[in-house]
Amino acid sequence: MVFSPDVLVKKYVYPLFFATDLDQLMHRMSWGVVIYGVLCLFLKKAPYGRYSELKYGFGLPVNLAWMIQESPSFYVPLCFVVYGTKDTFRSLTNQLFLWMFIIHYFQRSCIFGILMRGSKPTPFVPFLFAFLTSVYNGILHGQYFTNYYQYNDGTWLMLPNFWIGFAMFLYGMKINIKGDLDLRKLRKEGETCYKIPTGSWFDRISCSNFFGEIIEMWGYALASLAPPAIAHAFFTTMFLSKRALEHHDWYLKKFEDYPKDRKAIFPYVL
């Protein structure tokens, strides 16, 4: 029997969204991401990292948990590329957009996961929800670009929104990676204490790494104008903005000399 991710989606994912075709599935899953983004504003503080609490379940090693929970966002779309029917993936533009998504999450899960430093274990329940969210995103973006919508290369690659969005994506990734690197430099291996981050965007905001990821995802959304990408950028903004406000409040309470003119995530705004 030949493995087919498209058959599995029709058999197991369509019924979850009461979808009878791919068009319904893509729209309903995209709206699901938007709704999830709004709900994030009302959820309790995510219990991982400095907020980790094992009352949410037994703990997993932080590096392993991060790599596993984030990885479906790159290997699920990759399964559609390798084993799927790929009805629309003949377009260079489709390939580029999906690879943007895959590369981002490969970096976030594997590279960042290996390099991240942290001593507190990740509770199982938040880990499970993060894993399922990644599977959801992998299916949505993988199906959209390999089977649902085909871009016209001759037209789309000439549009200004494509080039502006692509530049935003690369610049956002640079800020994100640099922000993570700056935070790692503050903590030597085995250290549990926290220090005030400085330099680059950290002189203006508390969460430079989150800011970069938001720019990156809105660049992806602007370049493709794909509903899943726009929904994902919205979710990323809601989730990371809430997380940044929590971090910012934590910094202000922990450090008496924390710069009072810094914002949480958007320079001069929030």
Flag the least confident range among 18-32, 45-59, 106-120: 45-59
Maximum mean pLDDT: which of 19-23, 55-59, 122-126, 180-184: 19-23
Average pLDDT over the chain reads 89
Place of tokens 């085995």: 190
Flag the least confident range among 57-61, 122-126, 180-184, 189-193: 189-193
Q: In the beta sheet, which residues pair with residue 123?
A: 59
Which conformational region is residue 190 in: left (phi greater than 0), alpha (psi within -120 to 50 degrees), or beta? left
Res. 190 pLDDT band, cuts 50 70 90? very low
Flag the least confident range among 15-19, 51-55, 213-217: 51-55
Question: Is residue 107 scored above 70 in pLDDT?
Answer: yes
What is the predicted pLDDT for the residue at 77? 96
Place of tokens 């494509």: 162
Q: How confident is the model over 47-98, as pLDDT tens digits?
A: 555 555 545 556 788 888 889 999 999 999 999 999 988 999 999 999 999 9
Read off the pLDDT of each residue in 135-142 and give the average, rounded to a whole number.
97
Rg (alpha carbons) of the chain, rounded to whole number = 19
- SS3 state of residue 123: strand
Question: Is residue 202 scored above 60 in pLDDT?
Answer: yes
Closest CA to 45 of 34, 53, 37: 53
Question: Is residue 36 scored above 90 in pLDDT?
Answer: yes
Q: How confident is the model over 146-176, as pLDDT tens digits?
A: 999 999 999 999 999 999 999 999 999 999 9
What is the predicted pLDDT for the residue at 24? 97
What is the predicted pLDDT for the residue at 118? 64
Read off the pLDDT of each residue in 10-31 and give the average, rounded to a whole number.
96
CB 213 within 8 A of CB 172: yes
> d(Cα 207, Cα 180) in Å, to the nearest integer?
9
Place of tokens 């989730």: 239
Read off the pLDDT of each residue in 99-105 and give the average, rounded to a whole number.
96
Read off the pLDDT of each residue in 200-223 and give the average, rounded to a whole number.
95
Question: Is residue 140 scored above 80 in pLDDT?
Answer: yes
Cα 101 to chain centroid distance, Å, stands at 9
- SS3 state of residue 139: helix
Share of the chain above pLDDT 90, in %: 64
> d(Cα 70, Cα 101) in Å, to the nearest integer?
12
Question: Is residue 210 scored above 70 in pLDDT?
Answer: yes
Question: Is residue 44 scored above 80 in pLDDT?
Answer: no
Tokens encoding 253: 């309470």
**Range 161-187 burial, b when 16+ CB lie within 10 A, else e:** ebeebbebbeebbebbbbbbebbeeee
